Structure 1
């Protein structure tokens, strides 16, 4: 095809610059590796050594899974800083992908727990470099263009995430049915494919992310090196103290990292509230955001237990026989992304249709109620499975449907409200703060999951579900106060008669 001037038309991707395709497939394969590992990790950790697993206690395995997922989101903040000040987004994404691939390769080596822990650490570091910066590059492809075009690009990009999250079909099957380490190796291959096409498609990125946006000056570089050295020395000292006290265990490390996931966002909010760069009006909006942040942390604490307690329940208590064929338990992790693909466009239309008649706090409250209700349903399913019976897969489908309705009411809405309520001086950093809500929720959820065994499944799911629903009800009751803090009440639109 040629343009009216006779020159060949530029290659496009669903009407967008081909650079979006490069980023789309990089993110898709990175998510393939991430969700593939997520689907089989806890099953591998608790599998007996005779089945090539680590034979870890369930409580410890669930806590380790929770902290791993927490740290993946926790490092988004420093990962974005490194790209902005040192590497530039393009090199940060490349380096992150390489480190992620090495992490999966480490886990593919059947050499014991050491390779597993090294692999998880590498994946955490690599994801911190890749995840926030590839999204930044998508936005920068559309600098100076209408918001609607940028929103369209992110919708396409988000679809790549959901396609990649169907990885359990491949990684789960290989891991459960053949060999755990083969599954981890498949995740490494996925990331390698993403890297190859990222390098081949780099020429289509039009210079986006080539240089750091605010590179360190020589004086700043020296100060950063001194700070990094101090932090490393303190971390080494803490590890030595833990080792001397006999606390350098998986349980001890997961508890310490959980405390870190709680303390850092609390300290960050305290810092912003005290900052002279935050105006009085911004401080009021920030107060509202703290409550939304806490609601999001509670939501993710429940939602992300899908990879732990719900995955184990699927393996032990759900009838996975489909027309005489036994489906791998990890395949149940595909239910949520499939439902997301089915309902995402419906919710996007719904929020436009409802406009300001449904506020952000009400959407968050609905999300908490749906997520809590999903655990109440889990308690009923657990009761039906008491005594070793296997229940229908429809129970898990119902649970994931409720959670998906909650996710679509909170996750994209949270991204939007974060940009709206962020103090001007911290606009770029607030997206990292939003990810800290997931980090805190996942870390706490991993520790809370230790209660499942002593409490029993029915009591565990029922109490957590009831508490989460109660949190949603409280948010509904305080919607008007939150809207006033957010500055929304004066522009609220009356409900249609």
Structure 2
């Protein structure tokens, strides 16, 4: 997108009206709030729905397989962001991508809300994966569009936006988790569908007034001839994929384990391919190529961080269900409620971090150093959760305080990485790949969860200490390496801080 269009977009957005930030931040804040409410509400009960027995309202899937499916599902959700980013950059813009994505997500949750078979379950997953791929990267990219590149409010704005994400993530497990775990899983999924409907309604009603031109300009549009070719390729590809799926499933070649392995490979190959394409593109300038080089170690650090953080909905969810004392201080705790801890701590701490970065100004740590701190805290969060087994063995139930402490520590790291990473991505992105680079940022989570799908099978009560200890120590070691390389990485950023 040209500098002229960027300026034109910023001028079209009311620059005051939401806590000293552009008015459009209100629309994006609450759209993402409701989308995250629906997603995290569904996710809080999904793994339990998969491995609980049919007599308890679940699907009766083997627990290890259910944990792997959960990781693969999370990987595909973020992997599909590449498709959403490309469609926004080349065909219909970010605003329409957000709208179409919200509709698909809502339909996916409606399918989950209807009692059915495993086939219905996988259909809902396809809808939610595609919908989130359209909505998630593009709503974050539009946040970047409503600020000028020199606007000092930018990092603070992303922190506020991130708080909105987590406000939805905090409320959803409490509400959906309570209904889904204690009453009916399908009713819980229905509440998630209603949440997405509210998000769509708010976006449609307020976008014109608050967002101006943000999200409406296609940065790198296809020509009419190119569009015809693309539509033909998409149609042909869909038909071929359907044929391949039918044949391989009938022949017994495409099993759940085989699919998990395929996604694991794609989780590494796709971001690698994207880095190469952006770096070699004729539309990428010399300065932008240098910034892409700087982005690579940040991406690797992000993969390591999310590999730990995302296990909050898999390994730690199982830990809450099987290893934690759920009768505590006179309360009966639902295992789904622990999913609210991460967003709760972010809601509390996000304003503190937003204020801290604003207060420090040019004295704040560089982006690479913030990422190294994130890895340090992620590693420590896993070292903390191995302590109960060290002191009391793996046979007895442990106090929920250990889980609370682990979630708290990883959140400190998350606030050093996630909102900072969103902001850094909008700054380091090549102009011709703006939405797609945001999709690439989310691919770090896709890669992390694709890796998780492979390693969760090594977790058992007997291997608990080794599992948490090895992963935690690797994260801390990578943190030290990244901190040492920070000045060199900063140099490749060409003025971006």
Q: What TM-score do you get using the length of structure 2 for normalisation? A: 0.88
The separation in 1 between residues aligned to 2:173 and 2:191, in whole angstroms, is: 11
Q: 2:168 aligns with which of 164, 167, 184?
A: 164
1:233 deviation in Å? 4.2
Structure 1 gaps, min length 5: 1-9, 493-497
C-alpha distance 143-299 of structure 1, shift in aligned 2 (>3 A): closer
Task: Point out which structure has higher relative CO (alpha carbons under 8 A, 6+ apart).
Answer: 2
The answer to whether the Cα contact below 8 Å between 1:59 and 1:453 also exists between their aligned partners in 2 is no
**Structure 2 counterparts to residues 366-405 of structure 1, below 5 A:** 366-384=373-391, 386-405=393-412
**Structure 2 counterparts to residues 391-470 of structure 1, below 5 A:** 391-453=398-460, 456-470=463-477
**Structure 2 counterparts to residues 39-78 of structure 1, below 5 A:** 39-78=44-83
Q: 1:267 aligns with which of 250, 270, 273?
A: 273
Q: Within the alignment, does 1:327 sit opposite 2:333 as a pair?
A: yes
Q: 1:105 aligns with which of 104, 110, 122?
A: 110
Structure possessing the higher radius of gyration over alpha carbons: 1
The separation in 1 between residues aligned to 2:317 and 2:77, in whole angstroms, is: 20
1:384 deviation in Å? 4.6
1:345 maps to 351
The separation in 2 between residues aligned to 1:239 and 1:335, in whole angstroms, is: 39
The answer to whether the Cα contact below 8 Å between 2:163 and 2:350 also exists between their aligned partners in 1 is no
Deviation track 1:49-75 (CA, whole Å, cap 9, x = no partner) reads 111111212221111111111122122
The separation in 2 between residues aligned to 1:366 and 1:18, in whole angstroms, is: 32
Moved more, 218-227 or 199-208: 199-208
The answer to whether the Cα contact below 8 Å between 1:62 and 1:447 also exists between their aligned partners in 2 is no
Moved more, 244-253 or 116-125: 244-253
| Coordinate RMSD, CA, aligned | 2.9
Partner of 2:459, secondary structure, is: helix
2:484 maps to 477
1:188 deviation in Å? 1.0
Deviation track 1:280-326 (CA, whole Å, cap 9, x = no partner) reads 55434433321111111111111100000001101111122244231
Partner of 1:272, secondary structure, is: helix
Q: 1:33 aligns with which of 28, 35, 38?
A: 38
1:29 deviation in Å? 1.1
C-alpha distance 137-481 of structure 1, shift in aligned 2 (>3 A): closer
**Structure 2 counterparts to residues 4-153 of structure 1, below 5 A:** 13-14=18-19, 20-140=25-145, 142=146, 147-148=151-152
Partner of 1:247, secondary structure, is: coil
The separation in 1 between residues aligned to 2:216 and 2:435, in whole angstroms, is: 19
- What is the aligned length? 481
Structure 2 gaps, min length 5: 1-14
Partner of 2:195, secondary structure, is: helix
Q: What TM-score do you get using the length of structure 1 for normalisation? A: 0.88
Partner of 2:187, secondary structure, is: helix
Deviation track 1:431-459 (CA, whole Å, cap 9, x = no partner) reads 22111111111111122111113962121
The separation in 1 between residues aligned to 2:460 and 2:197, in whole angstroms, is: 39
1:256 maps to 262
The answer to whether the Cα contact below 8 Å between 2:299 and 2:441 also exists between their aligned partners in 1 is yes
The separation in 2 between residues aligned to 1:267 and 1:256, in whole angstroms, is: 16
The answer to whether the Cα contact below 8 Å between 2:141 and 2:426 also exists between their aligned partners in 1 is no
The separation in 2 between residues aligned to 1:110 and 1:484, in whole angstroms, is: 55
The separation in 2 between residues aligned to 1:41 and 1:292, in whole angstroms, is: 31
C-alpha distance 373-19 of structure 1, shift in aligned 2 (>3 A): closer
The separation in 2 between residues aligned to 1:158 and 1:409, in whole angstroms, is: 12
C-alpha distance 354-371 of structure 1, shift in aligned 2 (>3 A): farther
1:19 deviation in Å? 5.2
Moved more, 256-265 or 348-357: 348-357
2:179 maps to 174
